[in-house]
Chain A
Amino acid sequence: GQSLEQPSEVTAVEGAIVQINCTYQTSGFYGLSWYQQHDGGAPTFLSYNALDGLEETGRFSSFLSRSDSYGYLLLQELQMKDSASYFCAVRGGQGGKLIFGQGTELSVKP
């Protein structure tokens, strides 16, 4: 089957950098994605890594190491509006279904 592990919560201060790690287990792998969900809102796509290395999109970067079954989301210059839940998700297994981790609740303090 597929499973993902990520920390349940992280706290950081405004302007800081925070890294949210994700390890996964899957038979077959088509890519690791990250989604952001604010309270009461729908998850929105942040990034996708199919190959090893770092992908940068503005203040957010995502990294993947397929040999370690590991990835992370890096958020720089944290802002209060970044307070949200962050989910890693892996597409894999038979049929390539997208499975989500339990989510990491990020709290950004002033």
Chain B
Amino acid sequence: KAGVTQTPRYLIKTRGQQVTLSCSPISGHRSVSWYQQTPGQGLQFLFEYFSETQRNKGNFPGRFSGRQFSNSRSEMNVSTLELGDSALYLCASRHDRGLTNEQFFGPGTRLTVL
């Protein structure tokens, strides 16, 4: 079974631009979560989607948005990029009926904002 894939792996943008990141979950997983990881801040929860609906949301400004498609693939968008948005963005999927709540993470997209 293929793992979680994320594209692109690396991205360089300038302040004010917008960016769209993509995540394909493991086949059969309908829950997709997004996290921002920066040194010293750990993994910050952005949002979770399940069956095309946002089920949970973290404490990020409205510039951060996401969506999920009928095939469970998910995208997140960051508009009006700021220097502080430079981070590793991780996507994770899980089987909603899993006994352990195990989340499977993708390799991440490393975003650099100049």
Contacts and interface: CB of A to CB of B under 8 A. Distances in A.
Interface string B13-31: 0000000000000000000
B42 A45 contact: no
Interface string A32-66: 01000000011111001000000000000000000
B58 interface: yes
Contacts of B58: 97
Contacts of B41: 102
A48 B56 contact: no
Contacts of A44: 105
Size category of the A interface is: 20 to 34
B103 A98 contact: yes
Contacts of A100: 35, 42-45
Given A97-B33, A102-B40, 5 more contacts: A33-B101, A33-B102, A48-B100, A97-B56, A100-B42
Interface of A: 30-31, 33, 41-45, 48, 87, 89, 91, 94-103
13 contacts: A42-B90, A42-B106, A42-B108, A43-B90, A43-B92, A45-B102, A45-B103, A94-B56, A95-B48, A97-B33, A98-B103, A100-B42, A102-B42
